Structure 1
Amino acid sequence: MRVVIDRPGALFLSEPAFLVFVTRTVGLTPFQVGLVFSASGAGAFAGALAATRAADRLGVPLALTGSLATAGAASAIVPAAAMAPQGLAPALIAVAHFVMSATVIVFNVTQRSLRTSLTPADLYGRMNASIRMIVMGAAPVGGLLGGWLSATAGPRAALVVGALGMATACAWLRPFRPAGRDGTGAGTGPSIPAPRRESAPPASGPLPGRRRQDRTAADGHGRGSPSA
């Protein structure tokens, strides 16, 4: 729960400072800003394609912590782009947004799938409503803090704080040390529970053994009956 709250809070903290920083400090043109946002959309698409494979290969805990740490490292490139040559800065920011969007989508897909697998079916609505209320409640708080920090310390400071907040949010997942790749099993710390699996409903109709008994009885009756 803390990870789900901290990550969007750090993300919304950076948003008020981003456009101010890339246009005034870095000097990106409107066309270059559009390219950055296009790279972000492409990264989200790539992350959606890679999310299942990442969770299968890395395991759920490592996919969660790795995606958050990578997103934080990628977002830290943006405030550092001001020190790059003028022609290189737009490319660095575009690559950073591509990687950040891809890894955020990997995190979202993985953690939402995990939440769903651990929640009883009759509590899906309550769980999703509670999460959305808390996450979206962090949006105005992060936005206000980001605007205040940008006005007092500068947009670069707000971007650095947001990157650190996103990268360190994965620290809440450190206690989960699974033994298996799927996040189950005993480890050196508490493990993520195994997903709930609904039992299959009983098959309709007579059981296989009963059908065999009925067929045997019918055959015996046929053999014992007088011929016409």
Structure 2
Amino acid sequence: MIEVWTWPTPNGHKVHIMLEEIGLPYKVVPVNIGQGEQFKPEFLAITPNHRIPAIIDPDGPGGKRFALFESGAILIYLAEKTGKLIPAEPAARYLCLQWLMFQMGGVGPMFGQYNHFAAYAPEKIPYAIERYTNEVKRLHRVLDKRLSESDYLAGADYSIADIATFPWVRNPSRRGIDLADYPHVRRWHDAIAARPAVMRGVEVLSENQRRGAMTDQERENLFGAKQFGAR
């Protein structure tokens, strides 16, 4: 059974959804990032980057225990392990990986920076908020154009590219986005949100979703100097 060291964030939800879609049994190991559990030795032994998610597969390559971090790498690994949700034909496969990298290098980091400066930063910096607001909108336009041409990001079939991107696009109002302005993204979003495996995946650890204002301790654990200490 695969261990998933995770928390209910968009990057965590990618792996929850993937495991639900492919039907592999898994065990959730919560890593409460607000409480600083990402800095515990047992988690650092899996990922020196102290970021969720990470997995341990007791039946990894060669039948050996295998630990892996980085959500995009985990999605590729699970897709190749099961032969699901990644195209086999080379051109289609590279399109899938292209849009997966688009999420990893663009959607995730830029949406995350918007979230930080608009919602969490102790000082509201107009330049930063404007910069990342514009970038979030630009990335939505890129997605909308692609999805005007194709049912899913990699083509006609649902894939890990969609699984990676969906958790960041859901809850658009948190980023000041109205999906009515991006009708092809809305069509895609609604189709994915209706999938039973997706519904199950986004419920993993949902009872731990933070509600209300962030405490000083949570702010320190997520954004403070502890992030940058030598380990």
Does TM-score exceed 0.5, indicating one fold? no
Bigger RCO (CA 8 Å, 6+ sep): 1
The structure with the largest helix share of the pair is 1
From the CA coordinates, give the structure whose radius of gyration is larger.
1
TM-score by length of 2: 0.29
